[in-house]
């Protein structure tokens, strides 16, 4: 294409390098010179990310024409005899992820110009989100586990910094700390998984590892004595623990709702569209490993499906607009994870993509609402916003329809594909998983449109002053909304073939024949029309419709009904409001337990036993002994003479009796 042709004058590596380095440069400029640039600080990061987006498009186009790349940039270190490098693996999966990441990032950068304008940390914010783009891109482009982990931790760091962006808020600081530490639990598994890969494959390089992996089938390891496990199951599960942390799967999901303490643009970018999908991406990248282990796939499937349903249910009882969307994100990540379990890797990436668009859209639209509402986030205090904010209303509606899986919006195609793939999975757990996913469809539509109707329809519930000042947001906010709204509409039917059914992604995936769910669907593929028609006749569509209808009835027509229903369902709602007790368990058992152990080790172990008894105790005893023994030194000659004689007698007795 003429649009990318001029890039041929550069060596290919230069194009690839520009993708991470341009945002990094933006981040450094905004970080170091932000105090000087002030409200102009957005220029360099935006240009940097725009360059990265353009280059990503070029790379996608190249990959489409068969130009891929696999190679190293520099050797990070030589571990023993093993060189570990920083390098790139440019294939269809990477190229697609690059475009998604840089596109959403660019939208969020533009949106931030309007949204964060008056914030004193304006430049710092741009520095962080550009740094995030750099880290995420490095993660996606990596050709080895070390760099993957590098990017993995770096996006975690930026997430930590951005959740705690308003560092004067106690709740934000606690949320940031929580996010980091919970993610570290996942990282523990991830790191050990990498160590295991190094142990069994002797390399950290993707290609080398993937060529060794098939030879490991059947090899066992006894992690617990007497319980032999397949090595590949062990590795796959360890890596998945990492994915559970980053992609917020139960029970490591607890940090994500709290991450909403951060500014809204990063909720869209990091905690919905990109970073949280890193775990999904990682598992897809590792498909050669996962496809070797039915046990690992089953765990992935069940955890994903359980997350999809259970987190959606919590979304029903939330009143904070951002938290509802956050629980929705958890639920949707569950769908993606379940797809991974059903070996429908391309469907997972497809949903990742559509979700990135419509969820970023929903978050940014929610930000627009929050902006207009003077930072009010409680949907019970909103209502009737549609008149004042037509663009926000319209784009939010598109996002909601896409999220609920309404045809022909993007979410319908990706979600239906996942449900169908899970339905075709031959894993014994697939039945349960499918049930949870289908039930989740109703729940999704219900919480989404509950939010939608409460915010935009009905009578205004804010005070008159606020109501009088309601206004549509400036163009820097509405333009990104529209930009994200377009793919939220068409990305489903347009990309189901290349992405969802894997016609484009295939080269990056390894799928075992016995679990080729997507392959089966692809074999019966009769075009978009047929797929739509089948979708209209299937359960999920009717569940979506009824979810929307119930929401409209409850929150549009008969606002008294939900209140009455709440009373009847009290115990059930109590469980949901307490989020199944995960937070309480963590707080009471884990946090308090750790502190208790720490104090106990400190005061009893260190102070009383080691210092009190051993160290100072020894000193005390020596002192005491010296005190008593010094009395022997009386200074009287006859005492000493007497002692000498006694000693002499004892010695003589010894020599005579025992030696003689």
Partner 1 sequence: MTYSTLLSDAIWTPILGGLLVLAVGDRRAGAARWLALLVSLVTFAVTIPLFTGFDTHTAAMQFSERVAWIPALNIFYHLGIDGISLWFILLTSFLTVLVIIGSWRNVQERVAQFMAAFLIMEGMMIGVFCALDAILFYVFWEGMLIPMFLIIGVWGGPRRVYATIKFFLYTFLGSVLMLVALLYLYFHSGDSFSLLAFQKTPLGMTAQILIFLALFLAFAVKIPMWPVHTWLPDAHVEAPTGGSVILAAVMLKMGAYGFLRLSLPIVPDASHRLAWLMVALSLIAIIYVALVAIVQEDMKKLIAYSSVAHMGFVTLGFFMFDGVAIEGGIIQMLSHGFISAAMFFCVGVLYDRMHTRNIKAYGGVVNVMPIFAALMMLFAMGNVGLPGTSGFVGEFMVVLGTYQVSPWAAILAATGLITGASYTLWLFKRVIFGGIAHPEVAGLKDLDGREMFVLGALAASTLLLGLWPAPFLDIVHSSVQHLVTQVSLSKIPV
By CB under 8 A, the residues from 115 to 154 that bind partner 1 are 146, 149-150, 153-154
> Could you tell me if 278 and 286 are in contact, meaning their C-beta atoms sit under 8 angstroms apart?
no
Of residues 89, 187, 261, 434, which one binds partner 1 by CB under 8 A? 187
For partner 1, which stretch binds (CB under 8 A), given 188-196, 259-267, 453-461, 566-574? Answer: 188-196
By CB under 8 A, the residues from 55 to 74 that bind partner 1 are 74
Of residues 13, 192, 397, 552, which one binds partner 1 by CB under 8 A? 192
177 binds partner 1, rule: CB under 8 A: yes
d(CA 317, CA 576): 7
526 binds partner 1, rule: CB under 8 A: no
605 binds partner 1, rule: CB under 8 A: yes
Q: Which residues have C-beta within 8 Å of that of residue 210, sequence separation ≥ 6? A: 288, 289, 510
Closest separation between CB of residue 598 and partner 1, Å?
4
Answer whether the bond into residue 323 is a cis peptide, omega within 30°.
no
Of residues 103, 132, 134, 180, which one binds partner 1 by CB under 8 A? 180
- The total number of residues written for the chain in this structure: 660
> Could you tell me if 358 and 412 are in contact, meaning their C-beta atoms sit under 8 angstroms apart?
no
Residue corresponding to tokens 């009824």? 546
Closest separation between CB of residue 78 and partner 1, Å?
6
Of residues 7, 28, 73, 195, which one binds partner 1 by CB under 8 A? 195
For partner 1, which stretch binds (CB under 8 A), given 190-198, 282-290, 387-395, 565-573? Answer: 190-198
542 binds partner 1, rule: CB under 8 A: no
Bridge partners of 142, per DSSP, are 88
At residue 472, the 3 state secondary structure works out as coil
Nearer residue to partner 1 within complex by CB, 169 or 215: 169
For residue 194, CA distances in Å to 354, 377, 508, 511 come to 30, 41, 20, 22
Closest separation between CB of residue 303 and partner 1, Å?
20
Nearer residue to partner 1 within complex by CB, 615 or 649: 615
* Helices 321-341, 278-285: inter-axial angle, 10-degree rounding: 10
Number of residues that bind partner 1 (CB under 8 A): 52
For partner 1, which stretch binds (CB under 8 A), given 91-99, 517-525, 542-550, 608-616? Answer: 608-616
Closest separation between CB of residue 615 and partner 1, Å?
6
Closest separation between CB of residue 582 and partner 1, Å?
17
Nearer residue to partner 1 within complex by CB, 169 or 207: 169
d(CA 616, CA 607): 10
By CB under 8 A, the residues from 611 to 630 that bind partner 1 are 611, 614-615, 619
Residue corresponding to tokens 């623990």? 241
Site string for partner 1, 310-349 (x = CB under 8 A): ----------------------------------------
Taking every pair of Cα atoms in the chain, the longest distance, rounded to a whole number of angstroms, is 120
229 binds partner 1, rule: CB under 8 A: no
Q: List % helix, strand, coil for the chain (3-state, nearest 5).
A: 80, 5, 15
Q: Which two tokens stand for residue 207?
A: 């290609």
d(CA 55, CA 94): 13
Nearer residue to partner 1 within complex by CB, 542 or 602: 602
At residue 423, the 3 state secondary structure works out as helix
DSSP 405: T
Site string for partner 1, 559-598 (x = CB under 8 A): -----------------------------------xx-xx
Q: Among candidates 46, 39, 49, which has minimal Cα distance to 123?
A: 39
185 binds partner 1, rule: CB under 8 A: yes
Q: Which two tokens stand for residue 524?
A: 């019966």
636 torsion bin: left (phi>0), alpha (psi -120 to 50), beta (else): beta
d(CA 554, CA 404): 17
By CB under 8 A, the residues from 148 to 167 that bind partner 1 are 149-150, 153-154, 157, 160-161, 164, 167
Residue corresponding to tokens 């804010």? 462
Q: Which residues contribute to the site for partner 1 (CB under 8 A)?
A: 74-80, 146, 149-150, 153-154, 157, 160-161, 164, 167-168, 170, 173-174, 176-177, 180-181, 184-185, 187-188, 191-192, 194-196, 198-199, 221, 223, 594-595, 597-599, 601-602, 605-606, 610-611, 614-615, 619
């Amino acid at each position: 294409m003429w649009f990318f042709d001029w890039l041929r004058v550069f060596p290919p590596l230069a194009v690839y390098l520009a993708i991470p380095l341009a945002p990094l440069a933006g981040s450094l400029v905004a970080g170091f010179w932000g105090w000087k640039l002030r409200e102009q600080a957005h220029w360099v990061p935006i240009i940097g990310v725009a360059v990265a987006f353009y280059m990503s498009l070029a790379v996608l186009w190249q990959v489409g024409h068969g130009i891929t790349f696999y190679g190293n940039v520099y050797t990070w270190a030589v571990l023993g005899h093993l060189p570990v490098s920083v390098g790139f693996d440019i294939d269809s999966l990477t190229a697609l992820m690059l475009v998604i990441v840089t596109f959403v990032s660019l939208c969020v950068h533009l949106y931030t110009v309007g949204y964060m304008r008056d914030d004193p940390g304006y430049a710092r914010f741009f520095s962080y989100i550009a740094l995030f783009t750099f880290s995420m891109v490095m993660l996606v482009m990596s050709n080895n586990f070390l760099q993957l982990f590098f990017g993995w931790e770096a996006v975690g760091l930026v997430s930590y910094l951005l959740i705690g962006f308003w560092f004067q808020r106690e709740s934000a600081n606690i949320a940031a700390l929580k996010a980091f530490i919970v993610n570290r639990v996942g990282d523990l598994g991830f790191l050990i998984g990498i160590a295991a890969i190094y142990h069994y494959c002797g390399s950290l390089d993707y290609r080398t590892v993937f060529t060794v992996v098939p030879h490991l089938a059947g090899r066992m390891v006894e992690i617990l004595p007497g319980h032999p496990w397949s090595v590949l199951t062990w590795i796959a599960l360890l890596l998945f623990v990492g994915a559970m942390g980053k992609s917020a799967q139960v029970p490591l999901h607890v940090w994500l709702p709290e991450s909403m303490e951060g500014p809204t643009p990063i909720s869209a970018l990091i905690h919905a569209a990109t970073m949280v999908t890193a775990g999904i991406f990682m598992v897809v990248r590792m498909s050669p490993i996962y496809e070797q282990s039915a046990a690992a796939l089953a765990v992935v499937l069940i955890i994903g499906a359980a997350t999809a349903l259970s987190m959606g249910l919590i979304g029903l009882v939330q009143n904070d607009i951002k938290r509802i969307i956050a629980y929705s994100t958890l639920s949707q990540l569950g769908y993606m994870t379940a797809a991974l379990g059903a070996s429908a890797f391309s469907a997972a990436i497809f949903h990742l993509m559509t979700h990135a668009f419509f969820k970023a859209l929903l978050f940014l639209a929610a930000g627009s609402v929050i902006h207009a509402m003077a930072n009010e986030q409680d949907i019970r205090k909103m209502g009737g916003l549609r008149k004042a904010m037509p663009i926000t209303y319209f784009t939010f509606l598109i996002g909601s329809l896409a999220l609920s899986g309404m045809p022909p919006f993007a979410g319908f195609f990706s979600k239906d594909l996942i449900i169908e793939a899970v339905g075709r999975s031959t894993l014994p757990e697939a039945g349960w998983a499918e049930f949870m996913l289908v039930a989740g469809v109703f729940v999704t539509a219900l919480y989404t449109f509950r939010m939608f109707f409460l915010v935009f329809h009905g009578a205004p519930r804010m005070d008159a002053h606020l109501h009088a000042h309601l206004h549509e947001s400036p163009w820097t906010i509405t333009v990104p909304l529209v930009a994200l709204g377009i793919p939220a509409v068409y990305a489903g039917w347009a990309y189901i073939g290349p992405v969802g059914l894997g016609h484009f992604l295939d080269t990056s995936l390894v799928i075992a024949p016995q679990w080729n769910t997507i392959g089966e669907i692809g074999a019966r593929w009769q075009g978009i029309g047929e797929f739509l028609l089948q979708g209209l006749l299937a359960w999920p569509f009717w569940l979506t419709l009824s979810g929307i209808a119930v929401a409209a009835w409850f929150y549009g027509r008969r606002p008294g009904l939900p209140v009455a229903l709440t009373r009847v369902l009290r115990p059930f709602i109590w469980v949901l409001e307490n989020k199944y007790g995960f937070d309480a368990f963590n707080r009471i058992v884990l946090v308090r337990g750790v502190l208790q152990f720490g104090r106990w080790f400190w005061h009893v172990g260190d102070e009383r036993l080691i210092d009190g008894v051993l160290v100072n105790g020894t000193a005390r005893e020596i002192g005491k002994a010296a005190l008593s023994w010094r009395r022997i030194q009386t200074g009287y000659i006859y005492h000493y003479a007497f002692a000498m004689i006694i000693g002499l007698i004892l010695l003589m007795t010894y020599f005579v009796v025992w030696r003689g």
